[in-house]
Amino acid sequence: MQALHLYREVCKLSAQSQNNRLLASLPQPEQERLFPHLELVSLKLGEVVYESGLALEYAYFPIDCIVSLLYVMLDGDSSETAMVGNEGMVGVALFMGGEATIGRAVVQSDGFAFRLKAVTLKQEFKRSEALQNLLLRYAQALLTQTVQTAACNKHHSVPQQLIRWLLLGLDRLPESKLMMTQGLIANMLGVRRDGVGDAVGALQAAKLITYDNGTMTVLDRPRLEKAACECYFVVKKEFDRLLPDVKAS
């Protein structure tokens, strides 16, 4: 039971952040079977968790980091389709019948995660109805985020896309700041860097954020939410509907 003890000790470090909500919401029997197989790993900014077309060896359950799911074009351009933090897991293809994905998973905000061997996850998924229900509902919520991201990128302005991206990121982090260069944000959103620069400048002028040396800090979250398009709220509402027991710590 060393892994179970380790998980609980890590969670005690910060009741606000050091917790993966999917793992924490599992019934005790599932936790006792699954947790001994968890491995605590450190994920660095920019680290590729998995690459397009390659077999997935692990599932990752973020604790205080964010992993971006990206679609990469043949010419090397990319855009984010979804982001995963302490509300979820990276590697849903493992229990959806696939062994690989068409996208890339890259660490957007560094921190810690638990990883689980693919074979162990699939075995437990087949065994546990509780785990099946939880992960399938999470997969549907993740699909909603993917679809809404595509709609937002098509129909809304760069400042609106940036606000959606910021709010979703903040929901998955314990602090009101993100470490990210404008170039990386442009890659995530799939837009030109100067467009991101203009959007950041507009949000700073409105005193909604500050941006300094790659650190973006939100000054007024309520006003930022008022400026957001509906896409952020659609994703949040669907997540709350599908996973009502997966609450923030």
Q: Which tens digits make up the pLDDT trace of 115-129?
A: 999 999 999 999 999
Strand boundaries in the chain, DSSP class E: 39-43, 48-50, 58-62, 66-72, 78-84, 104-109, 111-117, 177-179, 209-212, 215-218
pLDDT score recorded for residue 53 = 84
Check if the beta carbon of residue 234 is closer than 8 Å to that of residue 164: no
pTM of the model: 0.86
CATH topology assigned to domain 2-130? Jelly Rolls (2.60.120)
Confidence band (pLDDT; 50, 70, 90) for 2? Answer: low
Confidence band (pLDDT; 50, 70, 90) for 212? Answer: confident
pLDDT score recorded for residue 148 = 93
Ranges of each domain in the chain: 2-130
Closest CA to 59 of 3, 8, 125: 125
3 vs 60: CA distance, rounded Å? 15
157 token code pair: 């302005």
3-state secondary structure of 76: coil
Of residues 117 and 76, more confidently modeled: 117
Instruction: Provide the mean pLDDT of the chain.
Output: 86
In this prediction, residues 47-52 reach a mean pLDDT of 91
